[in-house]
Structures are given as structure tokens and as C-alpha cells.
Amino acid sequence: MNKNKIESSRLILRLIKTSDLDSIHELLSLPETDKYNALGIPKNSLETKSLIEPWVTENELSEINNYTFAIETIQNNQFIGLFGLKLGNKKYNRGEIWYKIHSDFWNNGYATESLKAIINFGFNTLNLHRIEAGCAVDNISSVKVLEKVGMIREGRGRLMLPLKSGWSDNYQYSILDTDERKN
């Protein structure tokens, strides 16, 4: 596994490029993928471009602290989503993940497969000690994905997420390098 591309049985996670703009804009513009996300829907592709330019720049550094991957199917290289891994202070040796899957590809196990690949990358390649994630308490699909891979719910933050529907509580999850990982 290298730091630019991660492969699983059905997916390739590769660092995003500027040429991904149209696919990323479409993904971020879907109301169903924005429901539990505090980012908001971009007004136009220029706003999306200004959002992803720092991600692309970060991905080009020799030492990346904020990985942003495009998720593609191996079968036909179709863009199906984004996956992020932001590394924290080196002393604490941890990272925080986020993901967004295009709604046309929900309920196919792609989020779970991507998350397993990122966890393996984080522990085996980056030698992290801890990987964290948060999700809105009503986002039952993400709760299932996080728990399916062995992440442990550690707590609940009250009214942390500014969603379109109003402030939402947030579940905090983590998995440690010493925890059992589910295949």
C-alpha cells in the first residue's frame, strides 16, 4: 500500500486531482448526501473549486497531513465518493476520518469497504495509534458503517453539528491499533 493509492477488492482510493472537480461538485450538490453534513451545498462549481484546491495542494506535499481520496470502482474507474483522513499532532499519533458516498451507490457496502481500507492504511502504513470519526446521531447508515468495522462509540457531543435541519448531537467513535478489526 502506498500513500497515493489504496486498493480494496472492489475500490481504488486515490488522492484527488483538480480534474475531479465536476464529479466532486456533483457529489457535494446532492441534497441527500448533504443531509448530515455541516459543509453545505456549494453555490456553483467555482465554490467547489475553492474548497478542493487546498485539498489538492495538500495531497501534493511530500508529507501529507490531510489526505483527501477519490473513491472509484475498480471495474470501471467510476467516481463514487470522497474519503478524508486528517492527521493530528504527531505526538498523539491519531487521525480523523470522514467520507461522503454518492447516493447512487448507497447500500452496496462501499462505505464499509472504503473505511476498512483507510483503517488498514492508517495503522499499517502511517503507523497511527488511534483513528476517530464523528457522525450525526440520526445518521443511522453511518452509525452502522462505523460499528461494522469495529469502531467503538465513545460518547455523544450535544448540539455540535450545524445541519440544515438545525443543531444536531454528534456521536464520537474511535478504533485503536490494538483493537480487533472486523473483516
Q: pLDDT tens-digit profile of 46-90? A: 999 999 999 999 998 888 999 999 999 999 999 999 999 999 999
Domain membership flag for residue 153? no
Domain membership flag for residue 110? yes
Domain membership flag for residue 181? no
Spell 72-101 as b/e; 16+ CB within 10 A means b: beeeeeebbbbbbbbbeeeeeebbbbbbbb
Q: Which three cell numbers stand for residue 60?
A: 501534493
Q: 92 is in which domain, residue-wise?
A: 5-129
For the chain, what is the domain count? 1
Q: What is the pTM of this model?
A: 0.94
Give the span between the Cα atoms of 82 and 72, in whole angstroms: 9
Domain membership flag for residue 57? yes
Q: pLDDT tens-digit profile of 147-166? A: 999 999 999 999 999 999 99
Strands 166-176 and 152-163: antiparallel
Domain membership flag for residue 179? no
Look at residue 20 in the predicted model and tell me its pLDDT.
97
